[in-house]
Amino acid sequence: MHLLEVQHLHVTDRHTGSVLLRDSSFHVKQGSCLAIVGESGSGKSVTCKSIMRLHKAWIRQTGEIWFKGEELSALPERQMRKKRGKQLAMILQHGMRAFDPTCVIGVQIGETLKEHYGWSRAEIEANMSLAMMSVRLNNPVELMNKYPHQLSGGMLQRVMIALAFVLEPDLIIADEPTTALDTIAQFEVVEQLIALRERMNGAMILVSHDLGIVRRLADDIIVMKDGEIVERGSANVIFSAAQHAYTQRLVEANRALNGHFERLKGGGLGLVEH
C-alpha cells in the first residue's frame, strides 16, 4: 500500500469557472521523494493545497486522496486539523506566510506542539532548541522570542524544518522551499531537507521549478502543464530520456542555464546539475 494515493483529483474555481487541476492521479511511496515540476500556473501548488485541504471556500475539489489507507476528503475538518502538522506537514515557499506577523515565533510553535503532544512550555522549549540547533539556528530561545519579520527568509525556512524534526510527520510537502532564498541559503535549506528525510525515513513531496534541486532530492518525478500531468517516471529516466516535448524543453533549459552559471562563476554554484 502506498503512503499517499491521489485518484482523479479535479479542482475548479467556482468564481471564474476555470479548471485548475484536471483528473490528476499519482502516488507517493513510503520513504521516497516525489517531485512535482512545471512552470508557474501548471497546478503544482494547487495539488499541495488539495492534499492538505487548504483551499479557499470558492475552490472546489473532487476525487479521492488516500493517506495511510484513510480517505482525507471524507474527514471532518476537526479530524483533518489533527493530521496537519503531526502526520502531514507543509513547508511553504515564503516563510513569512507560515507565521502570524503579530505574534512571536515561539508562541506559534508552542501552540502547535501543545496541540499534538500536550507538552509543557519547558518541554517545548527544550525539544525545539535541540531541533533548531540541528539546523544551524544558534541562540534558539532568543530566536523564538522574535517576530517573523525579524528573521530572514532562510531562517524562517529552517524554523519550519526544525518544527518538522520535532513533529516527525509521515509526509512532508515542500512547496518551492528555496525560491525566495539566495544561493547560500538555498544550499543550506536543501541540505537540511536531505537530513530531515534521512532522520525520519518518511516521505516527501517536493514542488520546485529548479531541476538542480529536484535532481538532488527526488526519486520520482511528475511533470505538470496547464493543470495536467503530462509525464511521470523515475528521476533518472526523466533526466536522461524524457518522452514528452515539454519535459524535454524543461530539462534542456535547465541544462543550458546551469552551463551559463558555470561559465560565469567558474563552477562555483553548489546546486548546479552535474
φ/ψ of 220, rounded to 5, equals -130, 155
Residue found under cell 495536467: 228
Other C-beta atoms closer than 10 Å to the C-beta of 234 total 12
Q: Give the pLDDT of residue 262.
A: 52
Report d(CA 113, CA 163) in Å as an integer: 9
Residues of the chain with pLDDT below 50 are: 260-261, 264-265, 268-274
CATH class of the 4-265 domain in this structure? alpha beta
Mean pLDDT of the chain: 88
pLDDT tens digits for 61-113? 999 999 999 999 899 999 998 899 889 998 877 777 789 999 999 999 999 99
Report d(CA 202, CA 189) in Å as an integer: 17
Are 108 and 100 in contact, with CB atoms under 8 Å apart? yes
Report the 3 state secondary structure along 86-132: CCEEEECCCHHHHCCCCCCHHHHHHHHHHHHHCCCHHHHHHHHHHHH
pTM recorded for the entire structure: 0.85
Q: Give the pLDDT of residue 257.
A: 58
Helical H runs in the chain?
A: 44-52, 77-83, 105-117, 121-134, 140-144, 153-167, 183-200, 211-217, 235-241, 245-265
φ/ψ of 245, rounded to 5, equals -60, -35
Q: Give the pLDDT of residue 271.
A: 44
